[in-house]
Structure formats: C-alpha cells, structure tokens
Amino acid sequence: MDNRSFQAMRTEFVPLNGIRRTGRRHAAYGSFTGSARRLLKNAGLFFGAILAIVSLAACSTDNGAALDTSVAAPLSIPALLDPTYDGAGVAHYDLKLGESRHDYRQTALTDTYSYNGMSVLGPTLRLRTGDSVVISVTNELDEVTTAHWHGADVPAEDDGGPHSLIEPGATWIADFEVIQPAATLWYHPHVHGSTAEQVYRGAAGLIIIGDDNSAAATLPSTYGVDDIPVIIQDREFTEDGQLDFAIDDDGRGKLYSTLTVNGTINPFVDVPEGLVRLRLLNGSQARIYNLSVEGADMTMIASDGGYLASPVALRQLVLAPGDRAEIVVNVFMESAALVDRSLGRVLELRPNGAASGTGLLPDKLATIERIPESEITVDRSFDMDEERRSRQSGTRWTINGAEFDMSRIDFEVRLGDTERWTLTGDEGQHVFHPHQTQFQILSINGEPPPPEESGWEDSVLVNDEREVVIVARFNTYAAEDTPYMFHCHILDHEDLGMMGQFLIIDE
Ligand SMILES: [Cu+2]
C-alpha cells in the first residue's frame, strides 16, 4: 500500500474518534490506532481488517519517527520452504544468507541478517523422515558463516559446526538422510566467536520434520493457521533504530529488554477456536523464559526431539536458549496470551470465529522407549564453570576447566556405545547442548525428570542447583575426522569458550 492510500484510510478514521493529529505522523498514529481500536471493537471484522492493513501500510517508513509498539501488530509468519524433489527422489533446499532490513517499528528500518531475502530470520524448512536431503547454503554476507542444524542427527561434516566455514560468496552443501522422528528443530550459524551476533542480527530459522506419525496425529497442523511458529528473541534498539548488540563477558549472558516473536514486537495472531499449536523456539542469546498461558489451558505435546509420550498439562514452561517446545492451547471465545514472567505478553491469540479442525488431543502421541541403564558402557561428567580471575586476565568460560580450542579433541566416543553424562554447573545458568544426539534425562538432582522432560532432548538447563544426568546412544554416525561440538547454548558463554568437541570412532 502506498502513502496516499494510507493517508486516505487515516482520513476515514479520524472523525470516528475525534483525535486531532499533532506532532509527527507516527507518534500520532500510535495513539490514534489505540483509541480507534477501542472504539471500533464492536464494529466488526471489516474495521479490524482495515486496522490490520493500516498497520502494514505504516511499515514502509524510514523517516526518523518510531511507531508505537504498544499497539499490537499482526504476527509475522516465516515463509515455508518445501523441497524440490529431483528424479532420484532427493529433496533439495536452497538457503542464501544475506543482509536485509526489517521493520521493527523503530525510528528507521533496522539492518538485519536473513535467509532467502526475508526481512529477518529465514524460511521454515519442512523435512520428511526418510528423505535424502541436499541443502545448499550460500553466504552473501561480508563475513564467514556456517549453517548448523540444531537437534538434527546428521554426519559431522554436514552438521555445520565451526569447522564447516562458508566464506563470503561461497556455497556449502549439506547432504544427509532424515533419520529421526517428527520434531521442531532449528538452524543457525555456528562460527566460533560470532554465533551470538549472527543469530542476534536475524540468522535463524525453524525446521519442521514430519513423519507418518505426525501426519496421522489428530493435532493442529495447518502452518500459520492453527500451527503457529513462535521464535522468541529479545532485542535492544539504538535511537536510530538499529540493533544494539553486546556480549556479556561477566555474567549470565546479555539480556535485552524488547521481546520479539518472528521479528514482530507485541504481536497478535488470529486463530480459529479450538486447539491451536504453538511451536516455541527460544532463539535468544541468553534469556531464559518462564512461560505461561493466560485465558486458556496449556498442554505440552513435544520437547526438543519430538513428541512426548502423552500430552502434559502445564502451568509454567521454562524455555532456555536453544530449547523448543510444542504446546497446544485451547482458544475459546476470548483472547488468550502467551506470557513471560519477566517481560509480560509474548503473543496474543485472538479467536477469529472460525472453528479449528481439532477438538480433542489424542491420549498417546508417541512411543518413547526409555534407554535402559543396563545398556550404559561409559560414564562422563561435564562441569560448566565461569572462572573469575584477576581484572587483567578476565573471566574464563570453561567445561571441565578447559576453554574451547579448535585444535583439541576433548574425548572420543565409540560408535555403538551408550553413555551416561553427569552435567553440573556453577551458580550461573548454563544450557548443555551436545550435537548429533537426542538424549534422555535420567535424573535431575537425583530425582526422575517430570513428564515434560521425559522425552527426547538436545538442550538442558544446568546450574549449581540443578544437576542433570543424561543418557545418549551414539549408534548412527562415526565422526573420525570432523568433530561434533558440545557447548553451552547461552551464546555469550559459547562464543567466550564454553565449548568442546568430540569424535565418534568406529572400532
Ligand atoms: Cu553457560
């Protein structure tokens, strides 16, 4: 929509609430819309639609005045990227990471990173279990990057860790089979020292794996309609509307004050009445969210690695950086909202009067065979620690006392082994994330995990009051030349050295 039709729409509205426009256009726009919305609440969908169009129309500004982000805006839904199948049945995907600009409703358009020409973030990759996939990733940035498939069980050379650098202008090909069940994963760069900044600028996207089980399940599954991607990230903006980035090298990682979901500040999404699925990803640098749903019940159906055995009713959900959770919310008549304990509203769900295709959740979602402890052949322990030293030498971010060294292999796993790892940390918050494997939690502080942490996981919160014991099988790929990473997913900590690497040896 051009400026003229935007103005025309404003003119239509002004008599309805009698607000006189003063000051700069966008400052006025905010209060105007807020009042207009209250006034027009009962005026039907027609005006609602016009308001939505006005919000979109206002997005084309770059003239130095911030829009009022206290007015809710329609949630941006990342495009879907479905594969192109070649004659041999191989699924092909193309990703191009480049610079872009996004409208965060700040004083100017914000410089961002994005994939495939989106204004921020990347398209949602839809993968199918059993497919052979080829993903080509082209780096159109001026800096080196990588593409890591977080949570995916793939060969080490296709994993996109810090060893798989993509130089500016170069294309890197990942080539693997999808050997894991339905799940919500994600992709992001993994360059040692600049992972936090590249993700912060917008280089991240969802991966949705589907299989026969997910296709048959009676769950909301229409993407963007009743199956909503929810990428939660915090941001800070400078006065000129640009992203303010920092690494916190002396604490819990950098926390920013403004919540965004899929790049939208203060978002709402229109949803049908009935069950609505939210695919939550904490794509933040360091912030841990404590989520609940107001105005409706929340039921968790999937953790990092896929479906839980059965739906789990929850009041609160802790989502640490890197974590995913799929929840189902029963929206009926009234708006409901996903809220965070610290930052407040994350996403408003507004019923649009249509009926959702799904009314009742199934009792059973998946068969999760517990890995028997009798299968364990190796024990290891990992202690994540911030070591404060003198002011001159700064802080060391370590696992088992060692900072990351790209030339050092920390340990070797034998292909076929099942290992039990004990994870401990200092008084700070850490998120242990090993590549390649989905693990199960055996215990938290010696107790069995609650049902919501009894499925497949690839990231887990650890601190001095939360000792976690996990079990993992390493029976899919050997990695004798290229290591897999394990690290803290607080991205400040990771970039500062809280990372190590392991090989998987086929003996
Ligand atoms: Cu950490």
- Ligand 1 is a single-atom ion; what residues have CB below 5 A from it? 430, 488, 490, 493
- Please state, in angstroms and rounded to a whole number, the distance separating the CA atoms of residues 434 and 259: 27
User: Higher-confidence residue: 309 or 30?
Assistant: 309
Domain assignment present for residue 221? The answer is no
pLDDT for res 250 = 81
C-alpha of residue 492 to centroid of ligand 1, in Å: 8
C-alpha of residue 301 to centroid of ligand 1, in Å: 27
C-alpha of residue 13 to centroid of ligand 1, in Å: 51
- Please state, in angstroms and rounded to a whole number, the distance separating the CA atoms of residues 271 and 150: 29
CATH number (domain holding residue 326): 2.60.40.420
Q: What is the pLDDT of residues 406-446, one digit of tens each?
A: 999 999 999 999 999 999 999 899 999 999 999 999 999 99
pLDDT for res 63 = 53
pLDDT for res 394 = 78
C-alpha of residue 506 to centroid of ligand 1, in Å: 31
Specify whether 301 is located in the same domain as 415. Answer: no
Residue 310 banded pLDDT, cuts 50, 70, 90: very high
- Please state, in angstroms and rounded to a whole number, the distance separating the CA atoms of residues 314 and 325: 12
C-alpha of residue 488 to centroid of ligand 1, in Å: 5
Range of the domain at 428: 373-505
Residue 507 banded pLDDT, cuts 50, 70, 90: confident
Domain assignment present for residue 14? The answer is yes
C-alpha of residue 494 to centroid of ligand 1, in Å: 7
C-alpha of residue 427 to centroid of ligand 1, in Å: 10
Specify whether 315 is located in the same domain as 252. Answer: yes
The residue out of 195, 216, 237 marking a domain boundary is 216
The residue out of 46, 68, 90 marking a domain boundary is 68
Is there a contact between 290 and 318 (Cβ–Cβ < 8 Å)? yes
Domain assignment present for residue 364? The answer is no
Domain assignment present for residue 367? The answer is no
C-alpha of residue 138 to centroid of ligand 1, in Å: 30
Q: How do 395-399 and 378-388 pair as beta strands?
A: antiparallel
Instruction: Evaluate if residue 16 carries a pLDDT over 60.
Output: no
C-alpha of residue 433 to centroid of ligand 1, in Å: 10
Tell me the HSE value of 141 on the side-chain side, using a 13 A CA sphere.
23
Instruction: Evaluate if residue 70 carries a pLDDT over 50.
Output: yes
C-alpha of residue 490 to centroid of ligand 1, in Å: 5
Domain assignment present for residue 62? The answer is yes
C-alpha of residue 202 to centroid of ligand 1, in Å: 21
Specify whether 343 is located in the same domain as 397. Answer: no
The residue out of 169, 194, 216 marking a domain boundary is 216
Specify whether 130 is located in the same domain as 175. Answer: yes
Is there a contact between 5 and 57 (Cβ–Cβ < 8 Å)? yes
Residue in the structure block whose two tokens are 């002396």: 250
Residue 22 banded pLDDT, cuts 50, 70, 90: very low
Specify whether 145 is located in the same domain as 165. Answer: yes
Instruction: Evaluate if residue 9 carries a pLDDT over 50.
Output: no
Specify whether 126 is located in the same domain as 184. Answer: yes
C-alpha of residue 458 to centroid of ligand 1, in Å: 15
pLDDT for res 53 = 44
Residue 64 banded pLDDT, cuts 50, 70, 90: low
Total domains present in the chain: 4
Q: Which of 109-113, 167-171, 384-388 has the lowest mean pLDDT?
A: 384-388
C-alpha of residue 177 to centroid of ligand 1, in Å: 31
Output the six-digit token pair for 260.
């965004």
pLDDT for res 65 = 66
C-alpha of residue 325 to centroid of ligand 1, in Å: 20
Specify whether 306 is located in the same domain as 410. Answer: no
CA angle 469, 496, 411 (to 5 degrees): 45
C-alpha of residue 257 to centroid of ligand 1, in Å: 20
**What percent of the chain clears pLDDT 70, i.e. is strictly above it?**
87
Closest CA to 435 of 175, 152, 177: 152
C-alpha of residue 64 to centroid of ligand 1, in Å: 38
pLDDT for res 75 = 98
Residues 246-250, mean pLDDT to the nearest whole number: 90
Residues 82-101, mean pLDDT to the nearest whole number: 98
Domain assignment present for residue 360? The answer is no
Specify whether 101 is located in the same domain as 204. Answer: yes
C-alpha of residue 200 to centroid of ligand 1, in Å: 17
Computed over every residue of the chain, the mean pLDDT equals: 88
Domain assignment present for residue 63? The answer is yes
C-alpha of residue 430 to centroid of ligand 1, in Å: 3
Specify whether 501 is located in the same domain as 380. Answer: yes
Longest dimension (CA), the chain: 79
Residue 19 banded pLDDT, cuts 50, 70, 90: very low
Instruction: Evaluate if residue 147 carries a pLDDT over 60.
Output: yes
Domain assignment present for residue 377? The answer is yes
Specify whether 397 is located in the same domain as 446. Answer: yes
Residues 122-128, mean pLDDT to the nearest whole number: 98
Specify whether 233 is located in the same domain as 209. Answer: no
C-alpha of residue 496 to centroid of ligand 1, in Å: 10
C-alpha of residue 336 to centroid of ligand 1, in Å: 33
Residues 19-32, mean pLDDT to the nearest whole number: 30
Q: What is the pLDDT of residues 447-498, one digit of tens each?
A: 999 999 999 999 999 999 999 999 999 999 999 999 999 999 999 999 999 9
C-alpha of residue 412 to centroid of ligand 1, in Å: 23
Closest CA to 108 of 152, 167, 64, 73: 64
**φ/ψ of residue 480, rounded to 5:** -90, -20
Specify whether 414 is located in the same domain as 323. Answer: no
Q: What is the pLDDT of residues 324-367, one digit of tens each?
A: 999 999 998 899 999 999 999 999 999 998 887 777 899 999 99
C-alpha of residue 498 to centroid of ligand 1, in Å: 7
C-alpha of residue 371 to centroid of ligand 1, in Å: 27
